[in-house]
Structure 1
Amino acid sequence: MSDLIDEWATQVAETELRSTLPRRWAHTQEVGRRAVEVSHVLGQNACLLIAAATLHDVGYAPRLAVTEFHPLDGARFLRDEHAADERLVRLVANHSFALMEAEERGLRKELASEFPLLEERLLVDALVYCDMTTTPDGGRTTAEERVVEILGRYGGDSVVGRFIRRAAPEIFGAVGRVEAALAAQPR
């Protein structure tokens, strides 16, 4: 069953991103691979992490960009067009501290009411880890380097720049917790 979900998530992400946003597709593929690598620390949530990692940026697809806030657009697409699992949709909606960015965009209440944050810390952290240790081109990086890259790409005074500066301590904390969990559990 988990293979079917992984295949479905890959097919959806590839359909929406590969031809229109090839760089985003490269990032997405590597985030999914990172999820496979760390999934063993999540037990029964392993498949959920892999699917969420594969779909986390689907909302960037031009045809889905209604609000121009990809976590919200992606989650709505998965819910409305695919009737996706609620926990999966909530993970996509809230990946990488999206509530903080939603606040910068005036969308916090909308995001929080439609897609409440999951209370499963390690699962949420693992998705942050996978996303924030992967470059836009699908390479590996540290969370610190990724934050610097995002600031450089968007500029410090942009909505994304303001968000990433606020979120950086939370991102580093999430990555640290996942690294600790990985170190504590033999593969």
Structure 2
Amino acid sequence: MSLVSWAHGVAARKLADSLPRRWAHVEGVARQARRLQFVPEVDAELVEAAALLHDIGYAPDLAVLGFHPVDGARYLASIGTSPRLVNLVAHHSAACHDAEPLDLAYLLDDYEDERTPERDALWWADMTTGPDGETLTFIERMTEVRSRYGAEHAVSKAIDLSWSVRLGAVERTEARLAAAQVKNAD
């Protein structure tokens, strides 16, 4: 069984029935990640597997701490998932910045933020996919999240604090896609 097939099965069992909208988002993120298969310097299989698993920590039976990147990473580690995949899930989409306003940054101490093209690609896939799985620009996605949560919410504040870090990951990934001549999704 391929890594992507395994990740799809795990994520579907945890999210598809209990959180169908979250599952639609996850499937959209995985679709975005699949576009990386023609980018030579990116392990596209790893990114697609991480895309499928990145929000698994929202599953009702896994949401122990209430901080989904770490809840997901803890679960994945408990079932023997590779440390690299666990770390990508723990640190997806500027999780360290999301943790700061909640005073939860210490929860990420056990996980390495690898700062690689794969990490950038996972962030890009997540930050260019809307809540229903639709492809959005980075600006559209960040605007949608801020609108959904409100300007004073910790999530919106984290976006404001980490805007340049998030945008950097998106721009680097889009440059890699362009260099590999991968077309934008329609």
TM category, shorter: over 0.9
Q: What SS is found at the alignment partner of 2:166?
A: helix
Matched, 1:95 2:92: yes
State which of 54, 61, 71 in structure 2 corresponds to 1:63.
61
Structure 1 residues 42, 127: closer, same or farther in 2, change over 3 A? farther
Mapped partners of 1:38, 1:167: distance in 2? 24
Higher RCO (CA < 8 A, seq sep 6+): 2
Report how far residue 186 of structure 1 moved: 3.6
Matches within 5 A, 1:116-131: 116-120=112-116, 122-131=117-126
Letter in 1 for 2:139: E
Asked whether the equivalents of residues 24 and 133 of structure 2 are also in contact (C-alpha less than 8 Å), the reply is yes
- Which portions of structure 1, spanning 4 or more consecutive aligned residues, are displaced by more than 2 angstroms? none
| TM-score between both structures, scaled by the size of structure 1 | 0.93
| TM-score between both structures, scaled by the size of structure 2 | 0.93
State which of 37, 40, 45 in structure 2 corresponds to 1:39.
37
Q: What SS is found at the alignment partner of 1:64?
A: coil
Report how far residue 126 of structure 1 moved: 0.4
Q: What SS is found at the alignment partner of 1:84?
A: coil
- The number of aligned residues is 182
Letter in 1 for 2:141: R
Report how far residue 92 of structure 1 moved: 0.3
Larger mean CA deviation between 51-60 and 31-40 belongs to 31-40
Q: What SS is found at the alignment partner of 1:62?
A: coil
Considering fraction of residues, name the structure with more helix: 1
Q: How much is the aligned-residue C-alpha RMSD, in angstroms?
A: 1.3
Mapped partners of 1:173, 1:186: distance in 2? 20
Structure 1 residues 83, 131: closer, same or farther in 2, change over 3 A? same
State which of 134, 145, 148 in structure 2 corresponds to 1:153.
148
For residues 34-73 of structure 1, the C-alpha deviation after alignment (integer angstroms, 9 at most, x for no partner) is 1111232254622111110110000011111111110000
Report how far residue 15 of structure 1 moved: 0.4
Q: 2:132 matched to which residue of 1?
A: 137
- Tell me, which stretches of 5 or more residues in structure 1 are unaligned? none
- Tell me, which stretches of 5 or more residues in structure 2 are unaligned? none
Q: What SS is found at the alignment partner of 2:17?
A: coil
Report how far residue 152 of structure 1 moved: 0.6
Q: 1:180 matched to which residue of 2?
A: 175
> Percent identical across equivalent pairs?
44
Matches within 5 A, 1:66-77: 66-77=64-75
Mapped partners of 1:37, 1:169: distance in 2? 24
Mapped partners of 2:52, 2:35: distance in 1? 13
Structure 1 residues 42, 66: closer, same or farther in 2, change over 3 A? farther
Q: 1:7 matched to which residue of 2?
A: 5
Mapped partners of 1:186, 1:131: distance in 2? 21
Asked whether the equivalents of residues 15 and 22 of structure 2 are also in contact (C-alpha less than 8 Å), the reply is yes
